[in-house]
Amino acid sequence: MFIGHYAVGFLLKKKFEEIPLWMLFIAVQLVDVLAFTLVLLRFERMSYNPTSNPFLRTSIEYVPYSHSLLSNLIIAFVIFLIFWKSKKSYGIALSMGVLSHWFVDVIAHTPDLPLVWNGFKIGFGLWNFPWPAFFIEVGCFIGSGYYLYKNSKNIRRPIALIVIAVILYTSVMFAPEKEVPVGVASIVSLSLYVIFAVLAWWSEGKKGLRNL
């Protein structure tokens, strides 16, 4: 999943208004940031899979550090500990965001997500059905955005954030099929995570949280 993860970011923002949206956006994608960084460093492995289904073009072969359930529990716990002392709500919300990633992924992925290290792989396979997968993901993103902002006064920037995100996501997913080296795909993905975090920061404006 891609923007489906940000739906969780919106829901967490509704509950934890004091936390900047950009931090929640980074939290929900932290393990993908880790995965693509580790792919670039050759600690983890993905490869190009030629298929007409855009959701299955990246074969996930070896992602024990970033995408096993056990490592996600550990990463979330570390994030919790880092923030817990200074800001309790940050510790709770950001670790929930980090951990949500795996559970959202497991709905979409084919059985390539390990439970422990590189073993016991599961995935419910929503991605086998590209159109339902696309509409469910975009629907969750827009729906949770609506839920977050429905009573807000200043919604120009949030609307722009949602529209830009959907356009970016759609154009990346439905770009014409061609083989892209995994290194390039990783850099594109990492750049998108940065763009989304910057958009989230921008969406809250100068007044930041008081925009809501």
The nearest distance, CB 71 to Zn ion, in angstroms, is 12
Assess contact for 104 and 126: CB atoms under 8 A. Answer: no
Residues 6+ apart with CB under 8 A from 21: 9, 10, 13, 200, 201, 203, 204
Q: Which is nearer to Zn ion, 29 or 211 (CB)?
A: 29
- Window of 31-39, 111-119, 178-186, 198-206 that interacts with Zn ion by CB under 5 A: 31-39
The nearest distance, CB 19 to Zn ion, in angstroms, is 22
Give the x-and-dash track for 39-78 against Zn ion (CB under 5 A): ----------------------------------------
Among 30, 32, 90, 91, contact with Zn ion (rule: CB under 5 A): 32
Q: What is residue 50's three-state secondary structure?
A: coil
Q: Count Cα neighbours of 62 within 13 Å in the Cβ-side half-sphere.
A: 7
130-149 residues near Zn ion, rule: CB under 5 A: none
| Sign of the CA dihedral with 65 first, then 68, 74, and 77 last | positive
Residue 128, burial from CB neighbour count under 10 angstroms (0-12, 13-18, 19+) = middle
H or E, element range at 171: helix 156-173
The nearest distance, CB 105 to Zn ion, in angstroms, is 4
The nearest distance, CB 153 to Zn ion, in angstroms, is 35
Among 26, 28, 104, 105, contact with Zn ion (rule: CB under 5 A): 105
Q: Which is nearer to Zn ion, 38 or 155 (CB)?
A: 38
Q: Which is nearer to Zn ion, 44 or 105 (CB)?
A: 105
Assess contact for 48 and 186: CB atoms under 8 A. Answer: no
H or E, element range at 199: helix 182-203
The nearest distance, CB 109 to Zn ion, in angstroms, is 8
Q: What is residue 1's three-state secondary structure?
A: coil
Binding status of residue 112 toward Zn ion by CB under 5 A = no
Q: Which is nearer to Zn ion, 152 or 191 (CB)?
A: 191
- Window of 41-49, 88-96, 103-111, 157-165 that interacts with Zn ion by CB under 5 A: 103-111
Residues 6+ apart with CB under 8 A from 193: 26, 29, 32, 33
Which positions touch Zn ion (CB under 5 A)?
32, 105
